[in-house]
Amino acid sequence: MSWNSIIGQQRAQEILRRSIEQKRIAHAYLLWGPRGTGKDALAIEFAKTLLCERQGAEACDACPSCRKVQILQHPNVKMVFALPAAKAEKGGEGGEGKFQPDVREEIRSQLEQKAKNPYFHFEIPKATQINIGTIREIKKESSLSAFEKGKKIFIISDAEMMSDTSANSLLKVLEEPLSDTIFLLTTSRKEKLLPTIVSRCQSVRCDILKDEEVEHALAERESIPPDQALLVSRLAAGDYSYALELLSEDLVSQRAGAVGFLRSVLSGQSLKLLEEIEERIAENDRKTVEQLLTMLLVWFRDALLMKEESGTGIINQDQREDLNRFLARFKDSNFPATIGAVENGLELLRGNVYLPLVLLSVSIQLKRILLNAK
């Protein structure tokens, strides 16, 4: 890696590089912005540059320190993320050693994936928060001498997942910073952090990625064919982490499933719709429902573009014929309203609203908007 390996984020990169060049390193940084924009990638690259033995504004990627940070095995760098709270607290302290072997293996596996790809997003099963035991470990380690030459760096990924007690405990550390310790907090929900924590960090905003930036990265890094890279980049909507997830999905099947669900919504058969909803939530999988709603969102956006006779920006290029038939039937519909209904469903989903209620709410709104326009 090097700064050139970061996708986009030129402004954020410049802020971090300039702080190194001017030797004005803050004791804490908050890297914030939409999910999948590379906040963790920036934090890891910044940490590597700070610890590089050549001490320049860009990491050499060759010295032992750089190589150890690259694989997240540098003793001066600690990645902090949400862990299963109950087991981590057993015995009064946090730490991986308190977990069962299968959980420790999952943590190790995800750290390896993060080392290979800094855009990988941590999702440890049953991990709901960054617990107080983890913050206690940070406080203890920050007070000790560094294992190797250079600063101690703590990267707190998804910092908004700190519990209230964890956040208040971290705040005490930030209020009395140590000269040899740096905290790098990343978050996609800055508003969930304590204002006092935000105020004690240098804020670095990460902008949403452009479609072409995601498309280029997919083609160059993942060797994705141009047509697929274009489709995935548009579906990802600036979220490179989500784009990587989409590569392992059957997009053709997912898009067909979304259209099939829409047919059930518009069929007027309540029993059929309820059966469809029950089938969709059979495994209580929020990711599956999110993908369904995302595909519906793309469908309505394409319909709106075609209705406005715009030939550019359509994602489902291979479904133009189906879109034309849909438009012929619902040409007078308020497509901005359908987009708003699906976006509202996604917000409910991310707010952990009961899954059947999310899909039922979206279904009722879409049926009202589309059928009442006829």
**Among 39-48, 131-140, 195-204, which is the least confidently predicted range?**
131-140
> Which pLDDT score, from 0 to 100, does residue 82 have?
92
DSSP state of 19: H
Least confident of 79-88, 197-206, 207-216: 79-88
∠ Cα 230 232 238 (to 5°): 95
Average of per-residue pLDDT across 162-189: 92
Q: Which two tokens stand for residue 59?
A: 């990491």
Whether 193 and 156 have beta carbons less than 8 Å apart is answered as no
DSSP symbols for 143-200 = TSPPSSSS-EEEEETTGGGB-HHHHHHHHHHHHS--TTEEEEEEES-GGGS-HHHHHT
What is the distance of C-alpha 33 from the center of its chain?
Answer: 10
Residue 351 has a CB neighbour count (10 Å cut-off) of 8
- As a whole number, mean pLDDT of residues 124-135 equals 88
Identify the CA nearest to 248 among candidates 282, 222, 216: 222
Q: List the beta bridge partners of residue 85.
A: none
Q: Rounded to an integer, what distance in angstroms lies between the CA atom of residue 131 and that of residue 133?
A: 5
Q: What is the pTM for the complete model shown?
A: 0.76
The residue whose two tokens read 């034309």 is: 324
CATH 3.40.50.300 fits 3-208, yes or no: yes
3-state secondary structure of 63: coil
Q: pLDDT-based confidence at 45, cuts 50/70/90? A: very high
Beta carbons of 186 and 32 less than 8 angstroms apart: yes
Segment 326-356, tens digit of pLDDT = 988 988 889 999 999 999 998 888 777 888 8
The CA distance from 262 to 254, in Å, is: 12
Cα 94 from Cα 91, distance rounded (Å): 8
Q: What is the pLDDT of residue 166?
A: 94
How many angstroms separate the CA atoms of 294 and 289, rounded? 9
pLDDT at 112: 93
| Buried-state track 97-132, b at ≥16 Cβ within 10 A, e below 16 | ebbeeebeebbeebbeebbeebbbbbebeebebbbb
What secondary structure does DSSP assign to 193-258, as a single string?
S-HHHHHTSEEEE-PPPPHHHHHHHHHHHS---HHHHHHHHHHHTT-HHHHHHHHTS-HHHHHHHH
Per DSSP, the three-state class of 30 is strand
Please say if the pLDDT value at position 365 is more than 80.
yes
Question: What confidence score (pLDDT) does residue 374 get?
Answer: 53
pLDDT at 108: 92
Instruction: Express each pLDDT in 280-334 by its tens digit.
Output: 776 667 778 888 898 899 899 889 988 887 666 787 777 888 888 998 898 888 9
Could you tell me the two tokens for 226? 């141009």
* 40 pLDDT tier (thresholds 50, 70, 90): very high
Give the H/E segment covering residue 274. helix 270-280
- How high is the pLDDT of residue 86? 53
The predicted structure's pLDDT at residue 87: 45
Domain ranges of the chain: 3-208, 249-371
Kindly list the distances between the CA atom of residue 12 and the CA atoms of 99, 165, 209, 241, in Å, as whole numbers in the listed order: 36, 30, 12, 18
